[in-house]
Amino acid sequence: MESISINKAEKDDNRLIGLCMSCGDRLPGRKKKYCSIECPQELRRTLNARTGLLKALNTRYATFYFTNLMVIMDILPFDLKEIFSFILQRADGTSPAKDYQRMANLLGNVWWAERKRTNKKYLASQLVLGQASRNGVSVDSIKPLQTKTPAGKGTFLLQLKLGKSDMETSNLQKVIKQAYRQQAKKHHPDLGGEAKAFRKIYNAYQELIDWADSPTFVNRRGFPDKWFYDGNRNRWVQPISMR
């Protein structure tokens, strides 16, 4: 039976720069993280379909990422203060989703075999965790970062060419008005612009000015370069944008 590369394997942190964070294919543009909309959806489905293993291991947080050579899943259990790293060599010609599926199946088979042998779930979990690499990695490396995104205003920000960070300034209304004036100079019908485009810009301006009176944010937790699992929510989220 194939086994997880453990203990003797060293983690390869050579991340895939300029490649899709779901499949590893070359990206057409620098600012993109994925080669298509469907690509991260496929990996998320694969990750979420196998959260039973993480629940069995009493996982508080986990991260998943990959290199050209291997896939890596780091786990922090609720009741422990140590990172457990599962490292599997990648198979030729397969996607990271397929490699993770293979890793999860291998670990799951170990857990279930020990569960049947001993009739003890905690012994099965101990056996699986015992196969992990434990390299003294800081627990902070797997604790998620947090970002704030203006609730439901992404399209309006694009219309006025504003970034998420602009919405956290102390003089927010002034920033919105300045952005509106700049876009109005380019798109106002009296200045040669199209009426349809200007209406969208004006609507975005009104929406953001109203929002500035009582701003609300959506908090997201995760990492810019790893997939993140939250045991309290029992689901994986894709890498977050830190812009």
Whether the pLDDT of residue 181 is over 80: the answer is yes
Task: Give the mean model confidence (pLDDT) for residues 99-125.
Answer: 96
Is 25 among the domain residues?
Answer: no
Whether residue 82 is found in the same domain as residue 200: no
Q: What is the pLDDT of residue 144?
A: 85
Whether residue 157 is found in the same domain as residue 47: no
Task: Give the mean model confidence (pLDDT) for residues 35-60.
Answer: 92
HSE-CB at 196 with a 13 A cutoff on CA atoms is 0
Q: Residue 78, SS3?
A: coil
Q: Which of 69, 115, 112, 116 is nearest to 88 (CA)?
A: 69
Mean pLDDT, all residues of the chain: 85
Q: Tens of pLDDT along 203-218?
A: 999 989 888 888 777 7
Cα 235 to Cα 28: distance, rounded to the nearest angstrom: 29
Whether residue 116 is found in the same domain as residue 205: no
Pairing of strands 70-77, 59-66: antiparallel
Whether residue 185 is found in the same domain as residue 105: no
Q: Which residue has the tokens 């599997």?
A: 88
Is 6 among the domain residues?
Answer: no
Is 42 among the domain residues?
Answer: yes
68's tokens: 């050209």
DSSP of 89-111, one letter per residue? EPPTT--HHHHHHHHHHHHHHHH
Let me know: does 148 contact 219? Beta carbons within 8 Å: yes
CATH of the domain at 196: 1.10.287
Is 26 among the domain residues?
Answer: no
Q: Which of 21, 6, 155 is nearest to 95 (CA)?
A: 21
Whether residue 205 is found in the same domain as residue 232: no
Q: Tens of pLDDT along 56-109?
A: 999 999 999 999 899 999 999 998 888 999 999 999 989 999 999 999 999 999
Whether residue 228 is found in the same domain as residue 126: yes
Is 198 among the domain residues?
Answer: yes
The residues that bridge with 59 in the sheet, in sequence order, are: 77
Q: What is the pLDDT of residue 190?
A: 86
Whether residue 103 is found in the same domain as residue 42: yes
Is 194 among the domain residues?
Answer: yes
182's tokens: 């700049």
Is 12 among the domain residues?
Answer: no
140's tokens: 């902070």
Q: Which residue has the tokens 């200045």?
A: 191
Whether residue 105 is found in the same domain as residue 137: yes
- Residue 108 structural domain: 38-144+222-237
Cα 41 to Cα 85: distance, rounded to the nearest angstrom: 24
Whether residue 86 is found in the same domain as residue 164: no
Is 182 among the domain residues?
Answer: yes
Whether residue 61 is found in the same domain as residue 118: yes
Cα 46 to Cα 43: distance, rounded to the nearest angstrom: 5
H helices of 86-229, where?
A: 96-118, 121-129, 154-159, 172-187, 195-213
Whether residue 60 is found in the same domain as residue 116: yes
Whether residue 120 is found in the same domain as residue 209: no
Per the structure, the count of domains in the chain is 2
Q: Tens of pLDDT along 154-169?
A: 788 888 988 877 877 7
Q: Residue 212, SS3?
A: helix
